[in-house]
Amino acid sequence: MRRYIHTGILAGAVLLAGCGKEQYLDLTYDANYWGGISTTFDGQEIPDLPKKQIAALLKVCQQKPDMKRLPDRYVQHEGFDLYFLPQSVQGREFQHVRFLSDEKKDYLACQPIRHADYTVHQIKRSDYPFVDWSKQPFKAKSTVIRFKPVPKEITDQQKQENEDQKELKTLGRYLFPSYQLSLPPEGQFIIFGEEDGKERTFFETTESLSRSDLNISFRHSPKNGMQSAIIDLTVSGTREGNSSVIQEYAQGQSYQIERKELPDVLSPDQMIHFATVQKLEKDKVVQETPIYMRLNKSYKKPSNFKYAFINTNQPGYVGFIHQSPKQLVDSDYKFVSAIPDKLAKKIAQELKETEVMEPQGTKLKQKKLTLMREGKSQMFELYERKRAKKLEIYVVKPGSKNGAKLSSTTSEALSEVLNQ
């Protein structure tokens, strides 16, 4: 008899163990909150990518990659730029997506804006009927970077910008001369500097298949209300054009740029030292940053690469009360209410470990909750149950019978937003 009682106790313990807390938070890329454009080899952009295609691309980009780097040699077929739409959300989320092939396989490569490296996924062509696999990149005879005279129209434009900005002292100015170069149809072009004995990437691109010409310029820009200034390196001519800060200096400090003589070409796996930016204090050099160019035969992850046009710090959760994704995308504040960041973080924390149960109370049909972070989102339906001295709010995944009950303090805080 004891044996049967003991067995029963064990079975009961197993059942109880299965009734613990689980994760209810599952943020994913939702095509409702993303837009996209198709990019062609001649540099043209085809806007308004259909949502079905956006969803197919995002689905792959959030899966575990098959490879953590690009193939050594590949052909690019088509590229797509995907961007996060809600302007209410701080920061600019972006995915650069490329279809590639080597001699045996086909790939989809994703590059989030917050990371310098690609994730590469092996795919089947038949799953992507909207890609024109017959397109081939422009094949040039040259495999080297060629340095060229800066076109007059670019020089005139930069000089005109400097003239226009004389009265607006808060804006920067170009420091002449600029550099002009053409990229070969394959390889990776990198501009990098040395800081404290470590390499830091200022610019990198493998987008050379559209016969890109790059213009590289140094700029001087005031900072913090003229109290300090920066020297940055501006690269334009590709979709990845950007600016990277080389040095910062305070009042009383100055700068000078020592430029090196450039060769006619930059060959694969060759590196050249083309300039050194120096910080001066009382005519004495207190800091200097040598800057180099390199052409890699195959893709290599850039070292210490920071995008200048986005805050790369890990952002927190943000939350909104709304009726439909369209209202949130359009930032229609007649129907959208932002949740305080601390509350959004608290809700996310509770949903990471919560008991899932059948929701109680009344469903709020005209109000939904969406949490977002780094371009991923999750939308919930809301149930509200008012008791004598207690308020309960349940968040429920659409189409689910069970949901998660928020704590009493979180429910009260969320109720204040709902009743605004």
pLDDT, tens digit (0-9, with 9 covering 90-100), for 15-70: 333 445 889 999 999 999 999 998 766 666 788 899 999 999 999 999 999 887 77
Look at residue 297 in the predicted model and tell me its pLDDT.
Answer: 83
Tokens of 330: 């359009």
Tokens 């298949």 belong to residue: 209
Cβ proximity of 21 and 355 under 8 Å: yes
Look at residue 205 in the predicted model and tell me its pLDDT.
Answer: 83
Q: Distance (Å, rounded) from C-alpha 270 to C-alpha 264?
A: 13
Q: Which residue has the higher pLDDT, 222 or 8?
A: 222
* Nearest-5° Cα angle at 67, 65 to 73: 135
Q: Is the confidence at residue 345, as pLDDT, over 90?
A: yes
For the chain, the straight-line distance linking the first and the last C-alpha, in angstroms and rounded, comes to: 63
Average pLDDT, integer, range 130-141:
66
Tokens of 390: 């207690």
Q: Give the rounded distance of the alpha carbon of 206 from its chain centre.
A: 17
Q: Is the confidence at residue 11, as pLDDT, over 60?
A: no
Q: Is the confidence at residue 301, as pLDDT, over 90?
A: no
Q: How many CB atoms lie within 10 A of CB 19?
A: 9
Look at residue 354 in the predicted model and tell me its pLDDT.
Answer: 92
Look at residue 332 in the predicted model and tell me its pLDDT.
Answer: 84
Look at residue 21 in the predicted model and tell me its pLDDT.
Answer: 80
Look at residue 357 in the predicted model and tell me its pLDDT.
Answer: 95
Q: Is the confidence at residue 389, as pLDDT, over 90?
A: no
Look at residue 43 in the predicted model and tell me its pLDDT.
Answer: 61
Q: Is the confidence at residue 308, as pLDDT, over 70?
A: no
Look at residue 392 in the predicted model and tell me its pLDDT.
Answer: 94
Q: Distance (Å, rounded) from C-alpha 329 to C-alpha 82?
A: 15
Give the burial class of 320: count Cβ atoms within 10 A of its Cβ; 0-12 exposed, 13-18 middle, 19 or more buried.
buried
Least confident of 30-34, 184-188, 196-200, 224-228: 224-228
Cβ proximity of 370 and 378 under 8 Å: yes
| Confidence band for 138, pLDDT divided at 50, 70 and 90 | very low
Q: Is the confidence at residue 197, as pLDDT, over 90?
A: no
